[in-house]
Amino acid sequence: MFKWVFLLFFISCNTLNAQVQLKPMAKFPLIDSKLIRVDNLGTLFYIDRQNALHKLSDKGNLNYSNIQLGKIYSANAFNDLRINLFYKDFNTIVLLDNRLAEIYKIDLNELEPYKNISHISTGYDTTLWMFNVDSQQLELYDYKSRTTKVTSLPVESNVLELVTDYNYAWLLTENFLYKYNYQGSMISKIKNEGYKTLSQEDENVVLSDGENLFFLAEDSKEIQAIEMPELLIKQFLLTNETLYIYDGEILHQFQLKIK
């Protein structure tokens, strides 16, 4: 009797861990690019091999490049009216509008006190989230007033990725996944079980260990494995209930099904 109870418990646990599935929707060719964002209208933001940012939509293809600043280390198009590009080698941030025209430039070398930044991402209004390497703290910086509005407590391990929206920031480190509100208060802390990168939409988070994908629902601490076909995961993005997986040549579009 005990064996049957244990077996039923084991099966039910496995079933609970396999409740997130992917339904194939479409495929698009995209050769050797860095994927930045796909918005709700299907507009694609990506960086090509020549280090130019592209905005590809049914209205055409816009692009922006700045050879003088070197390689684009990261880009964020969550707010397409204030797209931010981080040129880490020059410690400089460039902001673009929805036509990819330059509207603001922030030279972090000129700030007092000096900011040694490893990661940046979009904040609300005229703010940017930044991770300060020297202080090991997450900061919310207002580039118009040139003031730091919020500073988190220091973290103790290397930062792998920073992902934000207007209200929250997710900081993935080698040891933990932290979630902060816009006031800089930590509201959750989950042990990192080998995750290397993440994407979020509407507070739902998808994580990857390089070979597999995992789902973390809004206001939950339970991370579930996502059932998926065998694919090389070079990059992935979550847009509403659509998950995009890029293998370096093809952009695969899936519907995320949560049972």
- CA-CA distance, 170 to 163, in Å (whole number)? 5
Total domains present in the chain: 1
Sheet holding 186-191, edge to edge: 159-164, 168-173, 176-181, 186-191
Can you give the pTM of this predicted structure?
Answer: 0.90
User: Does the pLDDT at position 236 exceed 90?
Assistant: yes
Q: What would you report as the CA-atom Rg of the chain, rounded to the nearest whole angstrom?
A: 20
Q: pLDDT band at 10, cuts 50/70/90? A: very low
Q: pLDDT band at 245, cuts 50/70/90? A: very high
**Domain harbouring 110, CATH code:** 2.120.10.30
User: Does the pLDDT at position 4 exceed 80?
Assistant: no
- 3-class state of residue 109 by DSSP: helix
Q: Which of 182, 177, 165 is nearest to 77 (CA)?
A: 165
Helix (H) or strand (E) holding 83: strand 83-87
- CA-CA distance, 249 to 61, in Å (whole number)? 19
Question: In this structure, is residue 10 part of a structural domain?
Answer: no
User: Does the pLDDT at position 159 exceed 80?
Assistant: yes
Q: How many CB atoms lie within 10 A of CB 85?
A: 26
In the predicted model, what is the mean pLDDT of the chain? 92
Query: In whole angstroms, how far apart are CA 191 and each of 18, 40, 174, 178?
Result: 20, 31, 9, 9
Taking only the tens place, the pLDDT of each residue in 175-199 is 999 999 999 999 999 999 999 999 9
Question: In this structure, is residue 11 part of a structural domain?
Answer: no
Question: In this structure, is residue 39 part of a structural domain?
Answer: yes
- CA-CA distance, 119 to 129, in Å (whole number)? 8
Per-residue pLDDT at 258: 81
Question: In this structure, is residue 56 part of a structural domain?
Answer: yes
Domain range for 100: 18-258
Question: In this structure, is residue 58 part of a structural domain?
Answer: yes
Question: In this structure, is residue 252 part of a structural domain?
Answer: yes
Per-residue pLDDT at 18: 52
Read out DSSP for 139-201?
Answer: EEEETTTTEEEEEPPP-SS-EEEEEE-SSEEEEEESSEEEEEETTS-EEEEEE-SS--EEEEE
Q: pLDDT band at 7, cuts 50/70/90? A: very low
Q: pLDDT band at 259, cuts 50/70/90? A: confident
- Tell me the average pLDDT across 120-145: 97
Residue 46 CB-density burial (10 A; 0-12 exposed, 13-18 middle, 19+ buried): buried
- CA-CA distance, 73 to 136, in Å (whole number)? 19
Taking only the tens place, the pLDDT of each residue in 106-121 is 999 999 999 999 999 9
Question: In this structure, is residue 127 part of a structural domain?
Answer: yes
Query: In whole angstroms, how far apart are CA 207 and each of 51, 199, 253?
Result: 26, 7, 17
Q: Which of 129, 134, 196 is nearest to 163 (CA)?
A: 129
- Tell me the average pLDDT across 49-74: 97
Question: In this structure, is residue 8 part of a structural domain?
Answer: no
Residue with tokens 């992902």: 163
- Tell me the average pLDDT across 209-221: 95
Per-residue pLDDT at 2: 37
